Structure 1
Amino acid sequence: MEDVSDKITDRPKPQPKFFDLVVNRLQAIGLSLLAGFFVCAVLVGLFGVVARDVFLTARAGPLDREATLFVRGLQTAGRDHFAIFVTFFGSHLFILPATILVAVILRWKKHPVSALLFLGSVGGGFVLNAVLKITFHRARPDLWPALVTEHTFSFPSGHAAMSTVFYGGLVAVVFHLTDRPAPRLGAIAFSLLAISLIVWSRVFLGAHWMTDVTAGFLVGLFWVVVSAVVTEIVFRRVPRARPVRRPRSGANPSRQPSR
């Protein structure tokens, strides 16, 4: 008579269930990375909707013209000066030196990898937007004499894209450096205000159609998410490069290892 224990040991081991395999795989990849890929896919789809007619006709449709004329209809002398002032903070004349300054500060604070990633993010955003401008080859609006002179193509808006990349990148830097809600909320509020004003100024000044700035914002947001995903991958591979966050007020800081 066979021993019962032998029969038990001879039985095949139960295989992990499909759900368990999926959960394990998601944990290995990281839910934050998967969320980033999903958001990128959504943004690409939205950009495609905005860009389809532009790519096929390169002309502004009726809704585009009406929306652009509505914004311009709010013109006053004071708003003209304010728009010219605001639009400077989305130009390469401001963003390039400001990016270098942020990178220098990060390096000075002993975050060299974060400094390089920030430089790469902004630089990559400039390249991506330049390629898209050449691809779509759209002329600037001609409904009224523009208050600023531009010599590049119109779609997508470089100011809208790069202000989103730069100020969105600043939010990412703050999130990496601190867990405290006040700086995080302050960075988000400041960035949203800056981006919104810059986007408005481009249409108000006659430099762009409404679809130009909409597409520029989508391109910039897409690149912010791509940069965040790349940053997370780098920090996972090189854990020492991840900045040590400042704890929330009242939280117990982690103990430093004894030497």
Structure 2
Amino acid sequence: MTKPAVPPVLISVARRIETRALLIWLACAGAIWGFFNIAGEVMEGDADIVDQQLLLMLRRPSDLSDPIGPPWVEEALRDITALGGFTFLTIATIVAVLLFSFHGKRRQAWILAGTVLGAQVSSEVLKTFYDRPRPSLVPHGSFVYTQSFPSGHSALAAAVFLTLATLIASVEKRPSSKILIYVLAVVITIGVGFSRVYLGVHWPSDVLAGWSLGATWAFAAWIVLEWMRSRDVSRERG
């Protein structure tokens, strides 16, 4: 018997998924390479001079305890840094997981929960492994309790907001809304990382490594989502 012809639209969708999946795999590999490249520079001390120069650029030369800009800027950045904190991201994750579940999007709910948990655990393990001290060049503008490398706030912000953007975009049909979601996720992630350096609690290389780690988990979540999509297409074709 002759097999029924596969609808062209399914073939087109399958090809787009395969191409997108390849690009995501490459991006994930690039994020992993970025993290370990930065880690190597830090462990060898090659990042120290640049880290110190960038940190001092955000302080008044006459008083290193005073960040540049008016007082309200420091207060605003302290608010922004809270967006990458454990408490806020835990609440945001729980709410998002529940909302996805209530709307029948259990796939997205499980992916988000797994990604956030993986990012949190890997961040803590890597902090212990590298055991880098916090910056002592300037006073800290926020309380800190753990080691410096990588930045947990930056890693968690990247993992949570980028993954959340990807999952919301997967169920959003309007291109303009998808673009807005991704832009907001990127802006918040950058803002959290910058605030950690501005407040003197992290070296710039800590933040770069945190972004790389968080992006790795976000790309991994995207890969899982694309794999599930391709499996659905295969079932439809079968």
Same fold (TM over 0.5): yes
Cα distance in 2 for partners of 1:96, 1:87 equals 14
Letter in 1 for 2:86: H
Task: Calculate the TM-score normalised by the size of structure 1.
Answer: 0.77
Cα distance in 2 for partners of 1:91, 1:116 equals 21
Cα distance in 1 for partners of 2:220, 2:199 equals 30
Contact 2:93 2:160 in 1 (8 A): yes
**Superimposed CA distance per residue, residues 75-111 of structure 1 (whole angstroms, 9 cap, x where no aligned partner):** 4321221111111111011001110100100111111
Q: Map of 1:17-28 to 2, 5 A cutoff?
A: none
Cα distance in 1 for partners of 2:57, 2:23 equals 36
Contact 1:72 1:206 in 2 (8 A): no
**Superimposed CA distance per residue, residues 21-64 of structure 1 (whole angstroms, 9 cap, x where no aligned partner):** xxxxx96x92222222211222222222211132234x851111
**Superimposed CA distance per residue, residues 137-184 of structure 1 (whole angstroms, 9 cap, x where no aligned partner):** 101000121011111010110111111111101210222112211211
SS of the aligned residue for 1:154 comes to: coil
Contact 2:150 2:207 in 1 (8 A): yes
Cα distance in 1 for partners of 2:229, 2:58 equals 43
**Superimposed CA distance per residue, residues 180-226 of structure 1 (whole angstroms, 9 cap, x where no aligned partner):** 11211111221122112111110111110010101111111111111
Letter in 1 for 2:155: A
Structure 1 regions of 5+ residues with no counterpart? 1-25, 240-259
**Counterpart selection for 1:65 from 48, 52, 75:** 52
Among all aligned residue pairs of Structure 1 and Structure 2, give the percentage whose two residues are the same amino acid: 27
Q: Map of 1:134-213 to 2, 5 A cutoff?
A: 134-213=128-207
Q: Map of 1:104-123 to 2, 5 A cutoff?
A: 104-123=98-117
Cα distance in 1 for partners of 2:209, 2:136 equals 19
Task: Calculate the TM-score normalised by the size of structure 2.
Answer: 0.83
Cα distance in 1 for partners of 2:41, 2:158 equals 24
1:42 aligns with 2:36: no
| Structure 1 partner of 2:124 | 130
What is the aligned residue count?
Answer: 214
Cα distance in 2 for partners of 1:139, 1:234 equals 41
Contact 2:166 2:182 in 1 (8 A): no
Structure 1 segments (4+ residues) deviating >6 Å:
none
Contact 1:54 1:136 in 2 (8 A): no
SS of the aligned residue for 1:90 comes to: coil
Structure 2 regions of 5+ residues with no counterpart? 1-13, 61-67, 234-238
| Structure 1 partner of 2:91 | 97
| Structure 2 partner of 1:31 | 19
